[in-house]
Amino acid sequence: MNGRIVIAGTGVAGATAAKTLRAEGYRGEIVLLGAEPGLPYRRPMVSKELLAGTAEERRTLIADAEFWRSREIDLRPGVVVERLDVDRTRVVLADGSEIGYDTLLLATGARARPLPGTSGGAYVLRARAEVEPLRAALAAGSLLIVGGGLIGCEVAATARALGAEVTVLHAGLTPLDRVAPKLLGEFYRNLHAENGVEICTEVLLDRVEQDPDGVLAVAADGRTWRAGAALVAIGSVPDTRLAESAGLLVNDGIVVDEHYRTSVEGVFAAGDVATRFDPERGAHVREEHWNSAQAHGAAAAKSMLGISPGTPEVSWGWSMQYGLSLQFAGHIREEDELVVRGSFDDPAITVLGLRGGRLVGAVGVGRPADIRAARDLIGKHAHLDPVACADESLALGAVATGIETVALSN
Ligand SMILES: Cc1cc2nc3c(=O)[nH]c(=O)nc-3n(C[C@H](O)[C@H](O)[C@H](O)COP(=O)(O)OP(=O)(O)OC[C@H]3O[C@@H](n4cnc5c(N)ncnc54)[C@H](O)[C@@H]3O)c2cc1C
């Protein structure tokens, strides 16, 4: 295949797609357009090493400048795609210029979800450029974090290490509830408390306003909190603006089929912005994890070249707080049969979620081997015996290899 492939978005999905196109032997033009300045970087480092100030810039990059040059990938950072003209197969840039395409990939990711009733003094953290303003705000000495999800909890840990007083306000019953069942959420609430961070749960915020000393947060039930600055970390929304205005099918993300094709011919979408049809689950699924976005980017590139993208790997992600690694795979729910391996004392613990005996999700603290094995087992649709799973003398990997004895088949 020849011609010009234009990619909007230089996050991991867009960058990986460009890399994969070349790796698969595509010889045509690749134009990689990104609104953010600078070379594509590892976004997960934003709330960890970059905020902490411990990462050398080189380490934060997906690839150095020479990589993009040598692959003849026309990388253009700081360029905003303003509009799509799908009838004329052109993208229109913010400066009014246009670029024609033969194939277009939308990898525009997600934006921080705004908090209604916020009148200023509140920061968000998604991009490299947002790190320095937040670090400067931490000099005020105290930070109120709205949202006890992954980013809120990570920033709490990092801000604490930087010496700030931190309080987290969370709407749910336990922190990290999108990825961790309650018993692990409680473990994290205690871990934060031991490190001097109070996580207040079931807080329905009415507003966050700026006051002469910083910010004032007011809950619907009248409770108030004050701090020098506030961070709003209440999740993200897929950045579907380009797609919507061009009339592509959008439903909590740009709707794509299993080959990453949107509703408009020649236009593909991948990463956090895309909701992909998963034939196994018979539904569209949108993930917001680094590995999924990377896998999407690679698979979409293959699809654009007419190569089968294959079965996507089981979705998984990670977090790092107070030096403890949290990993999760698949999709665990509170109502699943939850099997615990290990102990909260070490702490080294894995919670496995079984649905009708089948492993559907796993969350581990300091247990990378368990999560690796769980990803494999989830992908194989393994049915597991809860007693064998909980038995620490059996490595979960060994359970995986012993599928005939320990796990029932499909
Ligand atoms: C602070 C933070 C920490 C995270 N930590 C983890 C973690 O520890 N583990 C994990 O698994 N996941 C983590 N994630 C999630 C993970 O980083 C994302 O799932 C992943 O980066 C998504 O990649 P993407 O390429 O789809 O989108 P994005 O990374 O959002 O990139 C999209 C890019 O498109 C650009 N763009 C948008 N519109 C336009 C336009 N019109 N024109 C040009 N460019 C445009 C944006 O500026 C952006 O650079 C974290 C996310 C954040 C924000």
Q: Output the residue whose Cα is nearest ligand 1's atom 19.
A: 289
Query: Which ligand 1 atom is nearest residue 271's CA?
Result: 26
Q: What six digits make up the tokens of 222?
A: 């009248």
Query: Ligand 1 mean position to 95 CA, how many Å?
Result: 24
H or E element that contains 45? none
In testing the pocket of ligand 1, which one of 7, 43, 123, 232 has its CB within 8 Å of the most ligand atoms? Answer: 43
| 242 Cα nearest atom in ligand 1 | 41
Q: Give the span between the Cα atoms of 123 and 102, in whole angstroms.
A: 39
- Side chain identity at residue 208, one-letter code: V
Q: Which of 140, 199, 131, 211 is nearest to 170 (CA)?
A: 199
Q: Which token pair is 402?
A: 């012993």
Say how many CA atoms lie within 13 Å of 321 toward its Cβ: 30
Residue nearest to atom 37 of ligand 1 (CA): 108
Structure tokens at 234: 């209440």
Element (H, E) at 83: strand 81-85
Provide the whole-model pTM.
Answer: 0.94
The encoded tokens of residue 368 equal 């990378």
pLDDT, residue 292, reads 94
Closest Cα to residue 295, out of 303, 44, 401, 355?
303
43 alpha carbon – ligand 1 mean position (Å): 6
Query: How far, in Å, from the CA of 237 to the mean position of ligand 1?
Result: 11
User: Which helix (DSSP H) or strand (DSSP E) does residue 165 occupy?
Assistant: strand 165-169
pLDDT value of residue 407:
38
Rounded to the nearest whole angstrom, what is the distance from the C-alpha of residue 189 to the centroid of ligand 1? 27
Mutate to test the pocket of ligand 1, among 111, 260, 290, 328 (most ligand atoms within 8 A of CB): 290
Q: How far is the CA of 340 from the centre of ligand 1 (A)?
A: 32
DSSP letter string over 312-330?
PPPPEEEEEETTEEEEEEE
CA of 44 to the centre of ligand 1 (A): 8
Residues paired with residue 75 on neighbouring β-strands, in sequence order: 32
With a cut of 50, list the residues of the chain below it in pLDDT.
Answer: 401-410
Task: Quote the pLDDT of residue 400.
Answer: 52
- Separation of alpha carbons 279 and 249, rounded Å: 19
Distance in angstroms between the alpha carbons of the first and the last residue of the chain: 40
Beta strand pairing call for 103-106 and 110-112? unpaired
100-138 burial, b at 16+ Cβ within 10 Å, e below that, comes to ebebbbbbbbbbbeebeebeebbbbbbbbebbeebbebb
pLDDT at residue 150, as a whole number: 97
Kindly list the protein residues whose Cβ atom lies closer than 6 A to any atom of ligand 1: 8-14, 33-36, 43-44, 46-47, 80-81, 107-110, 125-126, 151, 239, 242, 271-273, 288-291, 293, 317-319
Report the separation in Å between the CA atom of 389 and the middle of ligand 1, taken as the mean of its atom positions.
35
- Cα separations in angstroms, 387 against 338, 347, 352, 406: 11, 21, 12, 10
